[in-house]
Amino acid sequence: MFKYVFKRVMVGIVTLFLLASATFFLMKLTPGSPISSERLKTEEARKAAMEKYHLDKSIPEQYAIYIGNVLHGDLGESMTANTKGQKATDLIGKSFPVTARLGTVAFIIALIGGIGLGTAAALSKRKWVNNVCMFVATIGVSVPSFLLALLLIIVFGVWLHALPFIGLKSPVHYIMPATTLALYPIATIARLTRSSMLEVMKQDYIILARSKGTPYKKVVIKHALKNAMLPVITYAGPMFAFMLTGSFVIESVFSIPGIGQLMVSSIQNRDYSMIMAVTIFLGALVITFNILADIVSAAVDPRIKLK
Amino acid sequence: MSMLEIKNLSTEFTTDNGIVRAVRDVSLHLDKGEVLGIVGESGSGKSQTMFSTMGLLSANGKVVNGEIWLNGKNISPLAFKDSREYEKTMDDIRGNDMAMIFQDPMTFLNPVLRIETQLIEPILNHHPDMDKKEAIAKAIELMRKVGIPSPENRIRQYPFQFSGGMRQRIIIAIALACDPKVIIADEPTTALDVTIQAQVLDLISNLKDEIDSSIIMITHDLGVVASICDRIAIMYGGKIVESGTTDEIFYQPKHPYTKGLLSCISNPEDPERKELHPIPGSPPDLLNIAEGCPFADRCESAMKVCKMKMPDRTTFSDTHVCSCWLQHPMAEGKGE
């Protein structure tokens, strides 16, 4: 188990290194530069900035310097005018918790909603329940999140004045952005749960459980759900990671100062160190949650041995 | 006294291709302390008769006719107001008054739950006042009874850590957890090695005496039947074609199908039985099955009437009954 986690972490570090390298060179290929903005009008100022950020050196040299800094734990500082001089780690530290809170709320909604809908669709004897659940699931995968976000804002925010839609000041503020963010995962989890539940309920061990005199509901909760959750867990780990990386679309629509916004504004400003820092951070996040998903799977299914 | 009596049971399955009449007008009874063997090939309806009795039919299956009397109570789903009431009654009965031992030890245990959880479940279901500790102690006792070494440790393990024979013992322990008066064993040895088969059969018949219950043994293995059954019912095409004591079936078989089954046993010492004589043809398709004797198509002595009308029961003794036109007075001399 520890050996397995250690191995996965090592592979993860190599992956991160490759990710960082690829991002670095792609970034340099992109036209534009952080100091080409009109604020640095004088030649001296520009030169000073070029020197400060090593932009006057060749790209392989810059790469070597950057990797060296990263290995020393230095992710650099922002180069953009309004956040200039702030440490990249500080900026991430400020915006990530916002996204993480929203992502966690959305993740919980997605799990409860998806598993609930999927189970209901699989087990209900009434056909319309299945139809309604699958309709929601189809809507969930096919309606783009910005459209849903706008619809929700118009209906509940503007027309009904029922829900606030700017920022994340209070728990009520979470309702609309979290729902929007959760919709696609709800749909996917509902489909996964439904098909695996249908499969599990046909298994012989369900018949044996019923032959013991265990009531149907208890058979579902105790015997079927745990087995049916295995594919959902495999999906939920990486999904949680992606929810934590934030959605630029949703953060923009609801004016949430999260990491998705930070990422996109960094790219727009060619804020080199910020682009790199956010990429490495999000990459590490995704890798971590994949490892976590494997560990949880092994905890649920004793047949899985982490080797 | 009959522990279990099934009268005119019919069960149907709705499929995409039509209605499959898996069990057709089956009547049988199980006396106290008795072992009744139900013998037939795959698809003869023997398992579905018992699944109907236990109320464990798959969702597309339905009991359409008949009565099932257990301890003087009719537990046919038709005797209840609605399925909720039926399920409630059956939840009390299943695993308590009547339990089932299943065929395949590899698939009937839940792979993600510990043996402990699966073994104390029937105990707690039917003894709600018992606490978990007592139930575990009882479960360990059960494991010892069915011959599992060091049960204190093994109870914490998962099914995949057990061999096939050991898993079958767990399945037997689950069935016997509440000392059921009726045990239905659905081919309990089919999936096991021959050496383990004998052990498991011995175990079942010993435990049966210990807890004073009666057994219905579903099998297609006449060797199993001969060693432990008191009476035998032969099923074919969803019907019981012949039933009698083990001696009557083995030494005075009346139905051509029974005779066919017996000639499928090879006996290297008996020159007449040295070779196997398989029954030609295949079992009938129970989808939209025709009137008449289901075995008529494969029967060497089939007559015109066999395909037209199901034969009545002919009684040879208190215990020996057969449904075959060859037993009709007008068919004398035929089929010998």
In the prediction, which pLDDT does B69 show?
A: 94
Chain B residue closest in CA terms to A208: B108
A225: CB partners within 8 A, 6+ apart: A115, A119, A197
B91, B11, A221, A130: CA torsion to nearest 10: -140
Interface A:B, Cβ pairs < 8 A: 78
Q: Say whether pLDDT at B1 is over 80.
A: no
Residue B273: its pLDDT value, please?
63
Of B48, B43, B53, B98, nearest to B77 by C-alpha is: B53
What pLDDT, in 10s, does the model give residues B189-242? 887 888 888 888 888 888 888 888 999 999 888 888 888 899 999 999 899 999
Question: From the list B54, B158, B177, which residue is nearest A302 (CB)?
Answer: B158
Give the residue, B292 or B68, on which the prediction is more confident. Answer: B68
Contacts with B56 from chain A: Cβ below 8 Å? 207, 210-211
Cα B122 from chain centroid?
A: 21
Write out the residues of chain B at the interface with chain A, using a CB-CB cutoff of 8 A.
Answer: 54, 56, 58, 87, 90-96, 99-100, 102, 104, 107-113, 121-122, 125-126, 158, 160, 171, 174-175, 177
Average pLDDT over residues A3-23: 91
Task: Tell me the one-letter amino acid at B176.
Answer: L
Q: What angle do CA B184, B32, B9 make, to 5 degrees?
A: 55
- Strands B313-315 and B239-245, sheet pairing: unpaired
Inter-residue contact B334 to B301 (CB < 8 Å) = yes
Report the residue count for chain A. Answer: 307
The band of B287, judged by pLDDT with boundaries at 50, 70 and 90, is confident
Share of chain B above pLDDT 70, in %: 96
Q: Look at strands B35-39 and B214-219 and give their pairing.
A: parallel
Specify the DSSP element, H or E, that contains B6.
strand B2-15
CB B96: neighbour CB atoms within 10 A? 19
pLDDT in tens, A280-301: 999 998 889 888 888 888 888 8
pLDDT, tens digit, 9 for 90 and up, residues B138-185: 999 999 988 899 999 999 999 999 998 899 999 999 999 999 999 999
**Mean pLDDT for chain A?**
86
Residue of B nearest to A123 (CA): B59
Which among B94, B111, B160 is the nearest to A210, CB-wise? Answer: B94
C-alpha–C-alpha distance, residues B309 and B331, integer Å? 15
pLDDT mean over A257-263: 88
Give the mean pLDDT of chain B: 88
Q: pLDDT tens-digit profile of B78-99?
A: 999 888 999 999 999 999 999 9
Do the chains contact at A211 and B95, CB–CB below 8 Å? yes
Question: What are the residue boundaries of the structural domains of chain B, listed by start?
Answer: 2-107+219-331
**Rounded Cα distance, B310 and B323, in Å:** 8
Domains and CATH numbers, chain A: 2-88 (no CATH), 93-300 (1.10.3720.10)
Local confidence band at A223 (pLDDT 50, 70, 90 cut-offs): very high
The CATH class of B2-107+219-331 is alpha beta
Q: A212 to chain B: nearest residue by CA? A: B95
